């Protein structure tokens, strides 16, 4: 089956939805999600969206905090653009109907997270992402120019490679003509021809065993663009959130928002001693790379599986009012955070690297844009400042939409694109082969490419991954296509990129900490 659309949007989190809503004023939009429209990484965001709203905050302060958290590896011009345009985008979200908590005075109730020198995080209780997703889904669904296809999985971006042209990483003018899309319900593969395509597939946390990301976060966009020979950057910078609830039964790991530390909660070890002041003068509110590494170190010293987050000294009523979602979750596992300390452990949370984009969300491939977590604009540098990701997603999606609509009527579909060739795919392999390989990749990444790395660990990881890569490619060649084998391939691709980039960076900086280069850690 063939479909033609002006705009193809792959992913339906904040970035995909904002792009779709804006592009729909200029043409037909096809919005796909491999699961349901609201199963996205955005929905899981708790803390909120950082933006400059009132004095004494200022753009300069937010820029300084972002650059300092990113260890100055950020693209400063990008940081400036995103922060300057942030407040206008927040206003637009409010206009669409997104609620952010307010004080009695009518001003936004701004919270504070690690690395911020001001309270600047707008939030809706402790479920900000869920609120944003709800409103934007409603807005997209009532738009007649947007067609939503759920349970549709993007397998490959279509380029001149599919017309028989040899495409390498040196090829200039690689062009995107759309994508091959797998319908999970019928197993049919659609050829979607589009004039402009955007990758907004979200995170890649499932490259690791323990992650706060939903199961759908398998790095699909990054892997697709890499396979299409597009440019990827900064993949060594994987952010581990310091405080996921320690409960080995939870997949994904349940996030305990940093805003709780902004509210006064402190990290303590199993002897109930606060330990963060030993590591950084900002204590429990130091940037995430520092806090996650400190927790990792405390766990190694004590042999414990977790540390604790202590809020028992805080006002119980206010705690429950501000963090009802976390309170309910903790109660469900027998922890009353007004009386008990919360056991917490770091978990893979956000990939700062991804598909390389410019300030308009353009990738290195013509007519292909990217926004949100799968993209890398250089905003986050070596370590993302908390709550800057929703901000970046909304600003870049807006810019990408404004750019992609230019001359849309003049652009043509490439009708010569052939349909997907499924010949030779007969084997219906047992699921256990895929799940076992997935577990092996996640274990390799957790054990050798986590918070603390070394040259030897990275070499081991790459050697072991090479075996799984070969086995999986052989299986893929022979098998009837399923989303699960595609996801495994994507996870292996992303794992490979993280290891390769980590091996190439001969220093410790921000989220990339290699014990062989520990003296190079930049001061924060």
Q: Which residues bind ligand SIN (CB under 6 A)?
A: 45-47, 257-259, 350, 386-387, 389
Sign of CA dihedral 207, 260, 372, 202: positive
Q: Tell me how far apart the alpha carbons of residues 153 and 501 are, in angstroms, rounded to a whole number.
A: 27
Q: How near is the Cβ of 468 to ligand SIN at its closest, in Å? A: 29
- Cα–chain center distance at 4: 29
Query: Which residue, 257 or 437, is less far from ligand SIN as judged by CB?
Result: 257
Is 58 within 8 Å of 83 (Cβ atoms)?
no
Query: Which residue, 112 or 162, is less far from ligand SIN as judged by CB?
Result: 112
Query: Which residue, 197 or 212, is less far from ligand SIN as judged by CB?
Result: 212
146-149/29-32 β-pairing: parallel
Among 7, 142, 34, 36, CA closest to 413: 7
Is 72 within 8 Å of 381 (Cβ atoms)?
yes
Nearest residue to the partner ligand SIN, using Cβ: 47
Q: How near is the Cβ of 386 to ligand SIN at its closest, in Å? A: 4
368-370/189-199 β-pairing: parallel
Q: How near is the Cβ of 507 to ligand SIN at its closest, in Å? A: 25
Q: Which stretches does DSSP call E strand in 446-523?
A: none
Q: How near is the Cβ of 172 to ligand SIN at its closest, in Å? A: 37
Q: At what angle do helices 220-227 and 483-504 cross, to 10 degrees?
A: 80
What H or E segment, with its residue span, contains residue 445?
Answer: helix 431-448
Query: Which residue, 240 or 448, is less far from ligand SIN as judged by CB?
Result: 240
Q: How near is the Cβ of 323 to ligand SIN at its closest, in Å? A: 10
Is 200 within 8 Å of 32 (Cβ atoms)?
no
In eight-state DSSP terms, residue 238 is E
Query: Which residue, 22 or 112, is less far from ligand SIN as judged by CB?
Result: 112
Among 267, 272, 207, 263, CA closest to 240: 207
Give the DSSP letter string of 86-121.
HHHHHHHHHHHT----B-TTSSB--B--TT-SS--E
Q: How near is the Cβ of 350 to ligand SIN at its closest, in Å? A: 6
Q: Tell me how far apart the alpha carbons of residues 88 and 97 are, in angstroms, rounded to a whole number.
A: 15
Annotated active-site residue in 71, 120, 233, 288: 288
What H or E segment, with its residue span, contains residue 345?
Answer: strand 342-351
Q: Tell me how far apart the alpha carbons of residues 372 and 389 are, in angstroms, rounded to a whole number.
A: 7
The residues near 187 (Cβ < 8 Å, ≥ 6 apart) are 480, 481
Query: Which residue, 22 or 306, is less far from ligand SIN as judged by CB?
Result: 306
Query: Which residue, 257 or 363, is less far from ligand SIN as judged by CB?
Result: 257
Q: How near is the Cβ of 45 to ligand SIN at its closest, in Å? A: 6
238-245/342-351 β-pairing: antiparallel
For this structure, is 293 an active site residue? no
Q: How near is the Cβ of 47 to ligand SIN at its closest, in Å? A: 3
342-351/307-310 β-pairing: antiparallel
Question: Which structure tokens are listed for 148?
Answer: 């939503």
Query: Which residue, 27 or 346, is less far from ligand SIN as judged by CB?
Result: 346
Q: How near is the Cβ of 383 to ligand SIN at its closest, in Å? A: 12
CA distances for 43 relative to 50, 131, 212, 361, 461, angstroms? 16, 8, 12, 22, 32
Q: Phi/psi class of residue 258: alpha, beta or left (left: φ > 0; alpha: ψ in -120 to 50)?
A: alpha
Query: Which residue, 356 or 387, is less far from ligand SIN as judged by CB?
Result: 387
Beta-bridge mates of residue 179: 157, 192
The residues near 461 (Cβ < 8 Å, ≥ 6 apart) are 444, 445, 448, 449, 495, 499
Question: Which structure tokens are listed for 351?
Answer: 């990939």
Residue that the structure tokens 């990408």 belong to: 400
Query: Which residue, 65 or 258, is less far from ligand SIN as judged by CB?
Result: 258
Catalytic residue positions, numbered:
288
């Amino acid at each position: 089956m063939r479909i033609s659309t002006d705009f193809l949007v792959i992913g339906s989190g904040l970035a995909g939805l904002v792009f779709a809503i804006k592009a729909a004023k200029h043409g037909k939009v096809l919005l796909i999600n491999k699961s349901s429209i609201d199963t996205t990484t955005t929905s899981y965001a708790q803390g909120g969206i950082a933006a400059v709203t009132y004095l004494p905050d200022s753009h300069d302060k937010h820029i300084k905090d972002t650059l300092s958290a990113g260890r100055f590896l950020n693209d400063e011009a990008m940081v400036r653009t995103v922060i300057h345009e942030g407040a206008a985008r927040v206003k637009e979200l409010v206009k669409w109907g997104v609620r952010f908590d307010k004080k009695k005075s009518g001003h936004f109730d701004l919270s504070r997270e690690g690395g911020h020198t001001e309270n600047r995080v707008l939030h809706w209780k402790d479920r900000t992402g869920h609120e944003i997703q709800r409103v934007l889904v409603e807005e997209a669904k009532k738009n007649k120019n947007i067609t939503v296809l759920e349970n549709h999985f993007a397998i490959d971006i279509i380029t001149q490679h599919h017309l028989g042209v040899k495409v390498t990483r040196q090829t200039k003018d690689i062009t995107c003509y759309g994508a091959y899309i797998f319908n999970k319900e019928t197993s049919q593969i659609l050829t979607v021809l589009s004039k402009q395509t955007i990758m907004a597939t979200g995170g890649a946390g499932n490259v690791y065993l323990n992650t706060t990301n939903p199961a759908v976060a398998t790095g699909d966009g990054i892997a697709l663009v890499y396979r299409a020979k597009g440019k990827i950057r900064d993949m060594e910078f994987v952010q581990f959130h310091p405080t996921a609830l320690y409960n080995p039964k939870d997949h994904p790991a349940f996030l305990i928002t940093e805003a709780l530390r902004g509210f006064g909660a402190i990290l303590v070890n199993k002897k109930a001693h606060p330990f963060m002041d030993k590591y950084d003068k900002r204590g429990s509110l130091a940037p995430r790379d520092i806090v996650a590494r400190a927790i990792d170190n405390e766990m190694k010293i004590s042999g414990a599986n977790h540390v604790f987050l202590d809020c028992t000294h805080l006002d119980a009523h206010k705690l429950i009012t501000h963090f009802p979602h976390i309170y309910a979750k903790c109660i469900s596992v027998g922890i009353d955070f007004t009386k008990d300390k919360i056991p917490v452990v770091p978990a893979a949370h956000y990939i700062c690297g991804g598909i390389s984009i410019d300030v308009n969300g353009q990738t290195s491939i013509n007519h292909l844009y990217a926004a949100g977590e799968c993209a890398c604009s250089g905003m986050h540098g070596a370590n993302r400042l908390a709550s800057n990701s929703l901000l970046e997603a909304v600003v870049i999606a807006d810019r990408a939409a404004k750019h992609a609509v230019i001359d849309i009527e003049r652009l043509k579909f490439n009708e010569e694109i052939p349909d997907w060739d499924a010949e030779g795919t007969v084997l219906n392999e047992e699921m256990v082969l895929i799940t076992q390989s997935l577990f092996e990749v996640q274990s390799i990444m957790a054990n050798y490419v986590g918070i603390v790395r070394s040259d030897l660990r990275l070499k081991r990881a790459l050697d072991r991954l090479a075996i799984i890569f070969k086995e999986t490619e052989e299986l893929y060649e022979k098998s009837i296509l399923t989303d699960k084998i595609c996801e495994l391939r994507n996870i292996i691709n992303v794992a490979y990129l993280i290891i390769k980039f980590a091996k190439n960076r001969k220093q410790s900086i921000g989220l990339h900490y290699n014990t062989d280069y520990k003296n190079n850690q930049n001061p924060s």
